[in-house]
Structure 1
Amino acid sequence: MFIDSHVNLHGEDFAEDLDAVIARAREANIGRMIAICCKLTDFEAVSAIAEQHEDIYCSVGAHPHHAKDRPDITADELMEMARHPKVVGIGETGLDFHYGYSPEAEQYQSLKTHIDVARRMDLPLILHCREADTAMADLLEEEMGKGAFRPLLHCYTGGSELARRAARLGAWFAASGIITFKKAEDVRQVFREDVPDDKVIIETDCPYLAPVPLRGRRCEPSFLPHVAQGLADTKGWTLDETEARTTANFFDLFDRVSRP
């Protein structure tokens, strides 16, 4: 059984064939999926998918691109949303200094609120980080000093410094289809050398980042075994070993997801 820890199933990309996409995922031995909320106004649509399918759970949060939409969101407001019975994680939140769609100050403000909620509710914190490695590492260390929480650096493409510093804090890391890309040797090196074996999980981040040999297509959860093969090749594991390790690691982190 594989677990897709990060899917984006709501919205127009899957509007015409969502049921078929989910059926193909099950046929590919995808035992659980987490539907990710990146915009607070999308939570109703995201959670509705989780409500309709026993094997799909969800998160609640605001991607740094959307931090500007509700920079004043309070921890109490976010906690109320997170009490939905299918919510198993907080986020996607984080820092993105590449696009700058939200001012940095508002990204920090939103991220700190998400951290507070993840800490208080003891839920995994799903993090996006782009061109903000040092800022993210500094903030995680600062916030961990205020009280423990469980960070997950999703679709990890950061450098060794952030990986090492986050690993010392007990963070998890998710490999996406990028780990199969020909030009992503720097990403593979970090997963080989800096990501602990017991802290790595896998995701598709569908509909984005389809893995080789399906690159260029709309990504979907049924492509996850190709991501697993990329991680297996990187770590020197068999595919069966990768399946067992990443599934066990997933349930260690997402402990409110039921086991099949």
Structure 2
Amino acid sequence: MYVDSHCHLDFPELAQNLPDILARMEQNRVSHALVVSVNLPQWPGLIELVAPHPHLYASVGVHPDYEDTQEPTVDGLVEMARAPKVVAIGETGLDYFRLSEPLEWQRERFRTHIRASRKSGLPLIIHTRSASEDTLRIMREEGADEIGGVMHCFTESWEVAKAAMDMNFYISLSGIVTFKKAADLQDLATRLPLDRLLIETDSPYLAPVPYRGKANDPSKVIHVAEKIADLRGIAVAEVARCSTDNFFNLFNKIER
């Protein structure tokens, strides 16, 4: 059995094909998927999408790339996190790849999410790109280690992974690990402790080989697991078991 720890099934290109996607998930033994929030105006629709499906869950948060959108507050996030299907805060973090300074608003938004995580008791989903030093610094300053979470769609160095794991975080690998030019990430995949590993699609983005360049959805998370197993020289069933156990350990609001 597999789980997709990070996807965006509420995005229009996936939501309009949801019955087919759910059928493919069942065929590929993908038992659960976490549908991750990127902004607050779309969040009610996300909750409406996951509500009828016992194996779909949600987070609440505002992505660091969303510059002109409703800003979250600690109390607002905590209140929304009380919804039965919400199991995490995020995605949040820092992204210096597309935006340029001044980005203090982005750093303050990240702090807001960490504070909401600590107050709600729900784990964090962290996105970091071209910003690992500041991401780790703010995690330490705000006590993110007290609640933990996941570094999603991880593409940073082993040193960054180790620092995050030391703060009680899991490392989630996406379809990028299957790409030919992802040698550094593939090396990292062989070094990660299996009890810190999650797998994800980040769909509709980053379809794994052999679907690269095509539509992605949670049913394809099995190809991420297969690549990790191949790199480590272990059975894919072991990757599936460990990543699934880790998913339920981290997002412990979900009944297994």
Q: CA deviation at 1:34?
A: 0.6
Segments of structure 2 that go 5 or more residues without pairing to the other structure are none
Q: Does the alignment pair 1:235 with 2:242? A: no
Q: 1:122 to 1:221 in 2, by over 3 A?
A: same
What is the Cα deviation at residue 234 of structure 1?
2.6
**Residue identity matched to 1:171:** F
1:158 paired to 2:156: yes
2:193 is matched with which residue?
Answer: 196
* TM-score, with length taken from structure 2: 0.95
Per-residue deviation, 1:236: 2.7
Rounded to whole Å, the distance in 1 between the matches of 2:79 and 2:130 is: 31
Alignment partners' CA distance in 2, 1:67 and 1:85: 28
Residue 129 of structure 1 aligns to a residue in which SS?
strand
Query: Could you tell me whether the CA contact under 8 Å between 1:25 and 1:221 is conserved in 2?
Result: yes
Match of 1:176 among 169, 174, 196: 174
Aligned twin of 1:66: 66
2:202 aligned with 1:205, yes or no?
A: yes
Could you say which residue in structure 2 is the equivalent of 1:97?
A: 96
Local SS of the residue matching 1:59:
strand
Write the distance in 1 (CA, Å) between the matches of 2:188 and 2:140. Answer: 20
Specify the SS of the correspondent of 1:33: strand
Give, in whole Å, the separation in 2 of the partners of 1:236 and 1:230.
10
| Amino acid in structure 2 at the alignment position of 1:129 | T
Q: Aligned partner of 1:246: which letter?
A: S
Distance 1:188 1:152, change over 3 A: same
CA distance in 2, matches of 1:148, 1:83: 20
Give the SS at the match of 1:64: coil
Q: Distance in 2 between matches of 1:213 and 1:28?
A: 15
Q: Matched residues in 1 for 2:238 and 2:146: separation?
A: 30
Q: How many residues align?
A: 256
Deviations 1:24-66 (A, max 9, x none): 1112111111111101111111111110211100000000012
Separation (CA, whole Å) in 2 of partners of 1:103 and 1:126: 24
**Is 1:68–1:102's contact at 8 Å kept on the other side of the alignment?**
no
1:240 and 1:78 mapped to 2: Cα distance? 37
Residue 255 of structure 2, aligned match among 243, 248, 258: 258
Code of the residue aligned with 1:10 in structure 2: it is D
For normalisation by structure 1, the TM-score amounts to: 0.94
How far apart are 1:68 and its partner, in Å?
4.4
Relative to structure 1, the CA distance from residue 214 to residue 254 in structure 2 (aligned partners, 3 Å threshold; closer, same or farther) is: same
Check the 8 A contact 1:62/1:91 in 2, yes or no: yes
Superposed structure 1 runs of 4+ greater than 4 Å apart = none
What displacement does 1:206 show?
0.8
Say yes or no: does 1:18 pair with 2:18.
yes
How far apart are the structure 2 equivalents of 1:16 and 1:67?
Answer: 26
Task: Provide the residue aligned with 2:113 in structure 1.
Answer: 114
1:161 deviation in Å?
2.2
The CA deviation string for residues 70-128 of structure 1, in whole angstroms up to 9 with x for no partner, is: 34x32111111111110001001110000017952111111111101111111110010
Tell me which amino acid in the other structure corresponds to 2:42.
D
Tell me the secondary structure at the aligned position of residue 191 of structure 1.
helix
Matches within 5 A, 1:119-138: 119-138=118-137
